[in-house]
Structure 1
């Protein structure tokens, strides 16, 4: 079934459930990744009609783009809507964030080469730097769009003020930022601005490092980044788990699981057209697509809103 939607005011038409590929070749992010398994995740996504793929230069670095590019060669290019991001510059052993127009031009050229493609559907400035005027940075992406090298313009991790500067000429199509049921700051200023300006907001960390997937209990322990995350500490962790458990009856009534309810709730928020959960295994891709079968009533939406208010 075709559920494709238009991403913001761009001319990209996507399945609202996309694939985040930081576990495909993202060796600097995850230990012991199997590259063939990663490529299989991408294949499964495309075969299942999940046409919106999200990667970045810094995943790997470079390797995720290369692997996604290899898999794309097995399909018709126009079947895939490909997003990537750039802004990290390696200077010796240091990594700096660079939004200078000339650097972004190089970043796009580098991504085109690694992805082995003639154009990128959506290119994001991955992080803001401190000194480049954001409208100048976006101006370079507009030039590259006019040349046909990218089809739409995104920014990521920008504050509302930075987004307004970036969008001075109305060129920004998409912003990617952190948003989930536990971290709802975007609702204050960001989502109203994106809704008013036809900018699509793509949330990352939609499951709050797994907390919203409904798979943990009070005895679960963590030895990674979560070990220091306030959401996972002591009494707060217990309260957060209790909130997630309140989603279970809604999920059971719809015949799905908690993560599908969470993703469906995001897709009902203003200017959120798409979600891009990551996957390490092909089975997770297929599972995420069950979200499209979920229909939340107004009552469901306000009930979930209230649980996590």
Structure 2
């Protein structure tokens, strides 16, 4: 595994980072807890020492599964990344930006983006308990909240750094203006943003601004929630409550299939899967520090870790880039 420094922080993260959205089950058709625990530990055993989670993922379940899974492991050898600012329990009293309604276990929950100082402090204490740890390596604002000044949110995170409860501060889903505004008030370690062969918008402004200002980029959804694994085109059915039924509709699926058919021979030549090739390509893109990859079982965890071992020549990279640029 390759390990990379995150921006100006002292953190070194695994180039492939474990993404735990799916194991939370919310919007993913549920989860199998035993498989999730095995996926977490197998990831760590294969060098993926960085675990990214959030309270929203399963309304605390994802964090709890990570905390339970690693309770007997060397905490100093694991980097925990979590978030705050997506409130579902009504504790925001209607404050913040309404985001969406989520159906969970037969009940509807209104989700708000809320990043007030008081809420940051509250959520961190809850996350520490679920994660069974006394510090978080990287705390990230999950989504921008237009009702809370950026400086108020950053002030809260700086206080948490001073208290030793977090080691570094990051944001997520920030554009370049918001990102640089946040950095005026804190040593901003990173911005976690969507990036894949199918979504490259951050190449225009976010990545150049991050590179110039030494801010790390954490790329999420590099496999577009499984679409770029190719399994969807091989008849793998999704559960009715799986959000990907709607998510995939934003893409021209014929073009996506054509892309995968063009790059699959390279994966086969390397003895790799399509998902491994896509992950490797993503780790090589300018400005990208680490790449999130979810795993719901041991097999997926091992596959993700193996992506970094693929050796691509300049000619092979050119072939992949030509296929990506043809979209």
State the SS of the aligned residue for 2:192. Answer: strand
In structure 2, the CA distance between the partners of 1:87 and 1:297, relative to structure 1 (3 Å rule), is: same
Is 1:172 paired with 2:194? no
More strand by share: 2
Query: How far did residue 82 of structure 1 move?
Result: 0.4
Match of 1:85 among 67, 75, 83: 83
Q: Deviations over 1:159-193 (max 9, x none)?
A: 22211211114521011111110111011101111
Query: How far did residue 243 of structure 1 move?
Result: 1.0
Task: Give TM-score scaled by structure 2 length.
Answer: 0.87
Contact conserved, 2:37 with 2:65, CA < 8 A, in 1?
yes
Aligned match of 1:195: 211
**What CA RMSD, in Å, does the superposition of the two structures yield over aligned residues?**
2.0
In structure 2, the CA distance between the partners of 1:69 and 1:225, relative to structure 1 (3 Å rule), is: closer
Query: Which structure's relative contact order is higher, taking Cα pairs within 8 Å and 6+ residues apart?
Result: 2
Match of 1:142 among 152, 155, 158: 158
State the SS of the aligned residue for 1:274. Answer: strand
Q: Deviations over 1:72-93 (max 9, x none)?
A: 2111110110001110223175
Aligned match of 2:105: none
Aligned match of 2:8: 9
Query: How far did residue 279 of structure 1 move?
Result: 0.8
Q: Runs of 5+ in structure 2 lacking a partner?
A: 92-108
Query: How far did residue 248 of structure 1 move?
Result: 1.1
Contact conserved, 1:56 with 1:62, CA < 8 A, in 2?
yes
Contact conserved, 1:214 with 1:245, CA < 8 A, in 2?
no
Q: Deviations over 1:25-45 (max 9, x none)?
A: x13233342212211111111
Is 1:281 paired with 2:297? yes
Query: How far did residue 250 of structure 1 move?
Result: 1.6
In structure 2, the CA distance between the partners of 1:211 and 1:28, relative to structure 1 (3 Å rule), is: closer
Aligned match of 1:163: 179
Contact conserved, 1:216 with 1:241, CA < 8 A, in 2?
no
State the SS of the aligned residue for 1:29. Answer: coil
Is 1:228 paired with 2:246? yes
Q: Runs of 5+ in structure 1 lacking a partner?
A: none
Q: Deviations over 1:15-72 (max 9, x none)?
A: 2111111233x13233342212211111111222210001110111011111211112
In structure 2, the CA distance between the partners of 1:252 and 1:104, relative to structure 1 (3 Å rule), is: same
Aligned match of 1:20: 19
Aligned match of 1:260: 276
State the SS of the aligned residue for 1:181. Answer: coil
Query: How far did residue 149 of structure 1 move?
Result: 0.5
Contact conserved, 1:138 with 1:166, CA < 8 A, in 2?
yes
After TM superposition, the structure 1 = structure 2 runs for residues 99-114 of structure 1, keeping only pairs within 5 Å, are 99-114=115-130
CA distance in 1, matches of 2:110, 2:225: 27
CA distance in 1, matches of 2:207, 2:30: 37
Task: Give TM-score scaled by structure 1 length.
Answer: 0.92
